[in-house]
Amino acid sequence: MMRMQFLGAAETTSGACYLIQSGDRQILVDCGLFHGPEELKQRNYGDFPFDPRAIDAVLLTHAHIDHSGLLPKLVKHGFEGPIYATAVTTDLCSIMLADSGHIQESEVERKNRKRIRRGEDPLAPIYTVEDAERTMKQFKRMVYDEEVEVFPSIRVRFRDAGHILGAAIVELWVTEEETTKLVFSGDLGNLDQPIVQDPTFITEADILVIESTYGTRTHENREGRLEHLADVVNSTMKRGGNLLIPAFALGRTQDLLYSLRVLQDRGDIPPLNIYIDSPLASKATSVFQEHARVFDYEARTMVKEGRSPFEAPHVHYTESVQESMRLNSVSGGLVIISASGMADAGRIKHHLKHNLWRRQATVLLVGYQAQGTLGRRLQDGAKEVRIHGEMVKVAATIETISGFSAHADQGALLNWLRRFRHIGRVFVTHGEKESCHGFAELINQELRVPVIVPKLDERFDVREGQILSTWDSQYHDLQVDEEFSGVVQVAHGDEIAFRGAWGMAQRRFRVENQFFTQFNLGSARHFFAQLALARLVEQGQVDQGTLGLWSAEPVWEQNLREWSEADPCEVVTREVLEPLGLGQTAYYYLDQLPALAATGYTVTNSGRTVENIYAMLEEGLKPQLFSTAHDLKKLWSALVQGEFLRTDTVRLLLAPYQERTDSPKLYVVEGQAPGAHVFFGGAPDATRFVTVLSNGEEAVRSLFDQLIKMTHGGR
């Protein structure tokens, strides 16, 4: 059995780290630093959720700190194995990790000055420059496209990801009884990105882990972007001001140098005096120059023809602080590219202080500006900003060019995915929540493959490349009968605390159940008819008195038909499904099921398992109501939070569904039909909600009871 755990970049973009366990081997893919909100950054401190000494090897996709930044911590805590990375990634890491170690040391030093004054114990840095240097000894250089046996049962191949120089897609073959092929996209680049090659197309994966940074967005195209850059340069130079570009040291700075060189060679902009004012960017650029042989064709040609974008008489790399400060006295005619990319740290802040108040100057933002950063405030049109404790008037022009991303946008990601001939299942990672989920749904629609957005720390068991389950430690003891076929999900508030999928959705086509699978709700369809009726009562279309008649008796569709004089399926769709946005809930005829719906299986008198369409035809062909765990959760929280019906209506409606139990109040809806058995329900305050959906008839109640006991206690 193989096990995968998502220890970072799950519903967020930073801290990429995936743990693969097979037999007694444990491998990490990436070991990145967390950025962003405090609760994520906290994960950089404290212990790893595994024993670093037990890790056998690390496969590193690329040098960006959100993928490599915790490697020195791993080594500091006892990891002694090899770190596989391309030669460029290795060289870039030797400067990036040392720089990161330096940042950790100085941050802690600053914090400790305060802590000591307050009489608190001093903190230790996550790691030091020395730890970073020690880490470099464990790097093993990989060549693109070459297969390497890491352990007898584990083979690996790095492919060009076209993201930043040296970035790799990782192909990993794990052999147990059978061989499972895993593919980690790493960060994927765009087509036509400067300097780097286009991403390599992969055609086979049993399990694919794909990034989704721009899974729901589209970039400004390349030509438009270059034209825009030329306009900004020309108008600034005409006004006689300086052009300031906050840019990440690795990748973005080199892209800009390349683009400026292309525009100069074309004669679209005049020769410029360009200053790279970031020691880290200067070092990264020199690593690029050492590895010119892995550039794409255009960039290699430029170097060969003596037109290298990185070395020209007018491109200057400032080293000392004095040199940097000298730039402050120049009022116009310079292009200054400096870190950080969001202008919230580094030398760029000095340049902004000395130029923002100048009407002739321009600040050009070429990367993502996070909420709360100086770059974002400028982008949002602030008239005044505080820099180093001083208020500075903003008179300069603020420009944004969005297309400079080193990440594939939605179109490019889909394009890369479409080249696969076989994908078993997909995990979507490395994106903000909306990106991950939006992109997952898109993949599901476009490619018709099972897609999962893993939660942080979520663990998946892969048996024979088939069965997958997920565990939150609280649910470790759950006993799932091997006859059970379906999906379970537990939500704590808005968060999914646990979920699992077992068995086949369609045995004939060997389609497995997955979190998006739609299940027949059986007799629970009447609950939806009741909801629709309650809406009609609230709208005054049906007599208020009907509310008094409410019970959990399953005749509500007939009642709805009588009282509304319309087809109950249509009324439910109009009054419940549409207003609540339940996009995966719909009525289907069993002989016309869509790809995502599970076929029901029932056992005949002679003990044979058959598709339930035969059993259900006996009561005449009528559409069945199908839904997903996701939609039911959405429905429940709207209901108990009073967002769909008035609270007094909800109380009346739910009363007959209350479970007889000593523990806190609990409402449960059960649905049954041949080949369908579902339970959903929870507390009236939406803190806990449990769903069990099955396209079989076995072991459903016991599973639901166990989950209720785990979430609500008692019973």
Q: Which stretch binds Zn ion (CB under 5 A): 59-67, 108-116, 265-273, 591-599?
A: 59-67
Closest to Zn ion by CB, 187 vs 631, is 187
Residue 255 binds to Zn ion (criterion: CB under 5 A): no
C-alpha count within 13 angstroms, C-beta hemisphere, residue 136: 19
Whether 543 and 537 have beta carbons less than 8 Å apart is answered as: yes
Q: How far is the CB of 214 from Zn ion (least distance, A)?
A: 12
Q: Reduced to 3 states, what is the DSSP secondary structure of residue 569?
A: helix
How many Å apart are CA 332 and CA 334, to the nearest integer? 6
Q: How far is the CB of 186 from Zn ion (least distance, A)?
A: 7
How many Å apart are CA 257 and CA 271, to the nearest integer? 12
Q: Reduced to 3 states, what is the DSSP secondary structure of residue 140?
A: strand
Closest to Zn ion by CB, 212 vs 624, is 212
Residue 160 binds to Zn ion (criterion: CB under 5 A): no
Rounded to the nearest 5°, which phi and psi values hold at 94? -65, -25
Q: How far is the CB of 407 from Zn ion (least distance, A)?
A: 7
Q: How far is the CB of 584 from Zn ion (least distance, A)?
A: 30
Q: Which stretch binds Zn ion (CB under 5 A): 153-161, 184-192, 255-263, 507-515?
A: 184-192
Q: How far is the CB of 67 from Zn ion (least distance, A)?
A: 5
Query: What DSSP line would sit under 5-55, residue for residue?
Result: EE-SSSSSSS---EEEEETTEEEEE--PPP-SSHHHHGGGSS--SS-GGG-
Whether 671 and 677 have beta carbons less than 8 Å apart is answered as: yes
Residues in contact with 492: Cβ distance below 8 Å, sequence separation at least 6, in sequence order: 687, 688, 711
Q: Binding residues for Zn ion, how many (CB under 5 A)? A: 3
Q: Which stretch binds Zn ion (CB under 5 A): 181-189, 355-363, 522-530, 554-562?
A: 181-189
End-to-end CA, the chain: 34
Angle between helices 129-136 and 87-117 (to 10 degrees): 160
Residue 187 binds to Zn ion (criterion: CB under 5 A): yes
Closest CA to 680 of 694, 664, 669: 669
Q: How far is the CB of 66 from Zn ion (least distance, A)?
A: 5
Residue 66 binds to Zn ion (criterion: CB under 5 A): yes
Chain centroid to Cα 370, Å, comes to 16
Q: Amino acid identity of 489?
A: Q
Closest to Zn ion by CB, 187 vs 670, is 187
Closest to Zn ion by CB, 9 vs 593, is 9
How many Å apart are CA 151 and CA 165, to the nearest integer? 27
* Sign of CA pseudo-dihedral 603, 605, 607, 610: negative
Closest to Zn ion by CB, 66 vs 670, is 66
Closest to Zn ion by CB, 180 vs 185, is 185
Q: How far is the CB of 453 from Zn ion (least distance, A)?
A: 17
Q: How far is the CB of 16 from Zn ion (least distance, A)?
A: 6
Closest to Zn ion by CB, 187 vs 611, is 187
Q: How far is the CB of 145 from Zn ion (least distance, A)?
A: 20
Token match 């058995």: residue? 677
Closest to Zn ion by CB, 171 vs 187, is 187
Closest to Zn ion by CB, 366 vs 392, is 366
Structure tokens at 1: 């059995």
Q: How far is the CB of 227 from Zn ion (least distance, A)?
A: 26
Closest to Zn ion by CB, 67 vs 459, is 67
Q: How far is the CB of 289 from Zn ion (least distance, A)?
A: 20
Residue 30 binds to Zn ion (criterion: CB under 5 A): no
Secondary structure element (H or E) that encloses residue 204, with its range? strand 204-211
Residue 64 binds to Zn ion (criterion: CB under 5 A): yes
Q: Which stretch binds Zn ion (CB under 5 A): 66-74, 300-308, 331-339, 347-355?
A: 66-74
Q: Which stretch binds Zn ion (CB under 5 A): 187-195, 364-372, 457-465, 558-566?
A: 187-195
Q: Which stretch binds Zn ion (CB under 5 A): 57-65, 651-659, 660-668, 695-703?
A: 57-65
What's the Rg (C-alpha) of the chain?
29
Q: How far is the CB of 277 from Zn ion (least distance, A)?
A: 23
Q: Which residues of 411-431 are buried (b: 16+ CB within 10 A; e: fewer)?
A: ebbbebbeebeebbbbbbbbb
Whether 600 and 520 have beta carbons less than 8 Å apart is answered as: yes
Closest to Zn ion by CB, 139 vs 636, is 139
Q: Which stretch binds Zn ion (CB under 5 A): 65-73, 193-201, 282-290, 320-328?
A: 65-73
How many Å apart are CA 133 and CA 129, to the nearest integer? 6
Q: Which stretch binds Zn ion (CB under 5 A): 64-72, 76-84, 230-238, 707-715?
A: 64-72
Q: How far is the CB of 14 from Zn ion (least distance, A)?
A: 7
Pairing type for strands 168-175 and 601-603 reads unpaired
Q: Which stretch binds Zn ion (CB under 5 A): 145-153, 183-191, 579-587, 697-705?
A: 183-191
Closest to Zn ion by CB, 14 vs 530, is 14
Pairing type for strands 147-151 and 459-463 reads unpaired
Q: Which stretch binds Zn ion (CB under 5 A): 60-68, 303-311, 509-517, 523-531?
A: 60-68
Closest to Zn ion by CB, 66 vs 472, is 66
Residues in contact with 194: Cβ distance below 8 Å, sequence separation at least 6, in sequence order: 254, 255, 258, 259, 262, 296, 298, 299
How many Å apart are CA 314 and CA 264, to the nearest integer? 12
Q: How far is the CB of 430 from Zn ion (least distance, A)?
A: 6
Closest to Zn ion by CB, 35 vs 492, is 35
Residue 252 binds to Zn ion (criterion: CB under 5 A): no
Binding region for Zn ion (CB under 5 A): 64, 66, 187
